[in-house]
Structure 1
C-alpha cells in the first residue's frame, strides 16, 4: 500500500510538471488584427478664448473670441479645412465701413510623415475678412503659400503672401518656430517665436517699419477631448504704427481658453 501510494503521487507530480512545461513552450496567443486605417477623418473644433491673438497681435481688442472649424483629411495626406472667429481690429482701425467683424479662413494642403519623428506639410491658406471697406483701403483678404517641417514636437513653418498682406498692398512673409512639449499624457508646454516681415513700400516709405518679432509661452491641459490652458504673448512692434484706438495691439498680454475637439 505504501509503495502504491508513493507511485501514484509521483505519477501525478510528473504529469503536472509535464503539463506546465508544455504550456510554457506553447506559442503565445495571436494578437487580434488591428483595425484598418480609415480612408478619411472628419473632425471639428470649437473654443472660447479670453481674446484672439494672431501672430502676437490682439484681433479683438483684448475682448473674448468664439472660434471654431472643421477639418477633412484622407489617408494619403491630403487635407482641407475651414475656420472662423469674431474680430474687431478692422472696425477699430477705421478701415471698415460695414461688417468686418468676422474672420473666415479656408485652407488645404498635403502632409507626409517620413517616419514617427519627421514630417513635411505643404499648403495654401486664405484669410477672409468679409465686409465693406472705406474708399482707398486695401482689402485685407490674404492668401499665403506655406511649407513646414516637423521633428517630434518641434515645427518650423514659412508662409509667403502671394499678393497684399492683411491690408498692406505688398507681399510679406512669416517664419514660425513652435514647440509643443508633452510633459505628461495630459500636460503640454507650448513655446513659439515668429517673425513677420512686409516687403515693398508705400508712398516712398519702406514697409519694414511694420516688421516685428513675436513670442509665446503657455501650458495646455487635455482631458476627454477638451483642452484648457493659457499663454503669455509679447512682440517688439513699433507702437507708432501698431496703435489702434489708443492701444498697442502688440503689447504683452495673457490669454486663457477652453476648446473642444469632436
Structure 2
C-alpha cells in the first residue's frame, strides 16, 4: 500500500552514508543508537489491499518511524479515508490511524526478516449495532534480496466484518532497480482471506514504478486491480471498491 510505497521511496534517504574513519565520533550524542524518520504523501487516491479507501478521491497521508540499532522499531501512519461513511452514511470516521511495532533483521546476508503487530484504528461516530472496524493483525515476513513474502493474521474482526477473527492476508512483493533514471519496478500479488464471510475473499495485484528524485523526494505510479466480488465490495454510492485503477503519489521523507 502507500505506506509501503512511502517506505520504498524514502528508504535510500533514511540510510545515512557511512562516516569516514577519520571523522567518526564515539560520542553517543552525535551517533545515537536509533533513528527517527517521517514521511508525508499526497496521493491521487488511497487503495489498501486493492480496495478504494477514499472513493477515488485524493488522500493526504503521513507518519513517522523510530528504529533502534538492535532491530526493534515502532511507528505510526495516518491517512484521510471515506470508505466507512461511503458504505454507511450514518458513520463519521474520516481518518485511519495505524500503530505498529516489531523487530527486523537478517537471517543471513540478503535474507531479511520482519515480524510485529499492527493496529488499524478508525476514530469516529458509529450507529448502534455497527461492527467496529478497528483491526489488529500480527505479521511476519521473510525475503531474498528484492523479493519478500509477508503473512498477516487478524486477531480481531477484520475491518468491520462480523465474526471474521482469524482472517489472513498473503503478500508476495518485489522491488527491482531498473538501473536507469533512478527507477524501481514494483510488483505485488496478494490474497485476502476473510474468515466466516461468504464471497468476501479475493486476490489483488499491482504493477508500478517509483522514481527517486533525491533529497528524500519520490514519485510513484501504479496500476492496481482485484477480483473482489462486486456484491460484497460495492459502497452505498454504487461504486465498486475493487475496480482496476491507476494510482499516482508524491512522497517526502525527512
Which TM-score band applies after superposition, normalised by the shorter structure? 0.7 to 0.9
Q: Which runs of 5+ in 2 are unaligned?
A: 1-19
Kept in 2, the 8 Å contact 1:90–1:96? The answer is no
* CA-CA distance at 1:222 after TM superposition: 0.4
SS for the counterpart of 1:132 is coil
2:190 alignment partner, SS class: strand
Q: Distance in 1 between matches of 2:23 and 2:158?
A: 47
Instruction: Give the Cα separation in 1 of the matches to 2:68 and 2:249.
Output: 29
Q: Out of 232, 236, 240, which is 1:241 matched to?
A: 232
Q: CA deviation at 1:208?
A: 3.4
Aligned residue in 2 for 1:126: 119
Q: 2:138 aligns with which of 126, 133, 145?
A: 145
Write the distance in 2 (CA, Å) between the matches of 1:58 and 1:124.
23
Structure number with greater CO (CA < 8 Å, separation at least 6) is: 2
1:214 to 201, 204, 214: 204
The yes-or-no answer on 1:57 pairing with 2:51 is yes
1:58-88 deviation per Cα after TM superposition (whole angstroms, max 9, x unaligned): 1000000000000000000000000000000
User: Residue 92 of structure 1 aligns to a residue in which SS?
Assistant: helix
Within-5 A mapping of 1:1-262? 32=21, 35=24, 38-94=32-88, 96-97=90-91, 99-169=92-162, 170-171=164-165, 172-184=167-179, 186-200=182-196, 207-224=197-214, 225-244=216-235, 245-262=237-254
Q: Displacement, 1:34?
A: 7.9
Unaligned runs of 5+ in 1: 1-30, 201-206
The whole-number CA distance in structure 1 between the counterparts of 2:169 and 2:161 is: 14
In structure 1, what is the equivalent of residue 10 of structure 2? none
Q: Which structure has the highest helix share of the two?
A: 1
Does the Cα contact within 8 Å between 1:197 and 1:208 map onto a contact in 2? no
Q: TM-score w.r.t. structure 2 length? A: 0.85
Q: How many residues align?
A: 225
Residues 75-131 of structure 1, C-alpha deviation per residue, up to 9 Å, x if partnerless? 00000000000000000111643x300001100000011343011111000000001
